[in-house]
Amino acid sequence: MYLTSGAEATVKVEDDVLIKERVPKNYRLKELDERIRKERTKAEARLISEARRGGVPTPVIYDIENSTIKMQYLDGIAIKYVINEELSEQIGFLVAELHKAEIIHGDLTTSNLILFKDRIYMIDFGLSFFDSSTEARGVDVHVLFQTFESTHHDHEKLIEAFCRGYRKDFNKADEVLERVKEIEKRGRYA
């Protein structure tokens, strides 16, 4: 069963295993394209595993082959459909754990957070990278806040709850949240 097919990858489920395969780019030389897809696939799998090691629930990686990752299929619901203040606070805590592991998600949206068996899982690390800078962390959080604002009428309460969770056990939280405000101002006047 195909779940999605995008510009970067196709995602399908076979026998309760999620299979994500990076799509070939015909505009690149074949050898270069294969190498890039293979490297990005390995990097994504490594980041998923590192996030998990850092305390962030992620799908379990079963296998990596060329430009394909086979991983645990989480038959849950996207957070965007069920988010409330309590879940937003939990998300804040998880994002702090991710950032403490020096990982930037790169596409932190309520579609890439899945509620499965009463736990929130982070998925789709295709744009993720290692970075410990306040700017990168701030951009990550800013993207999530933009998602809250564009899709949830009670976004102010969700942002407040996220900040409570983010501050729980992350000594750089206030620094990052201040940067989020700066990033927001930059965007408004650009």
- 150-162: pLDDT as tens digits: 988 899 999 999 9
How, if at all, do strands 68-72 and 17-22 pair? antiparallel
Strand partners, 61: 71
The pLDDT > 70 percentage for the chain reads 94
Domain boundary assignment for the chain: 2-72, 77-189
Residues 77-189, CATH architecture: Orthogonal Bundle (1.10)
pLDDT at 55: 96
Measured between alpha carbons, how far is residue 189 from residues 49, 63, 107, 173, 186 in Å? Answer: 38, 46, 23, 25, 5
Distance CA(52)–CA(67), nearest Å, equals 21
User: pLDDT tens, 14-63?
Assistant: 999 999 999 888 898 989 999 999 999 999 999 999 999 999 999 999 99
Strand partners, 104: 129
Which residue from 144, 150, 64, 163 is spatially nearest to 104, judged by alpha carbons?
A: 144
Measured between alpha carbons, how far is residue 142 from residues 22, 46, 64, 70 in Å? Answer: 27, 24, 31, 30
CATH number listed for the domain at residues 2-72: 3.30.200.20
CB contact at 8 A, 114 and 79: yes
Residues acting as catalytic residues = 107
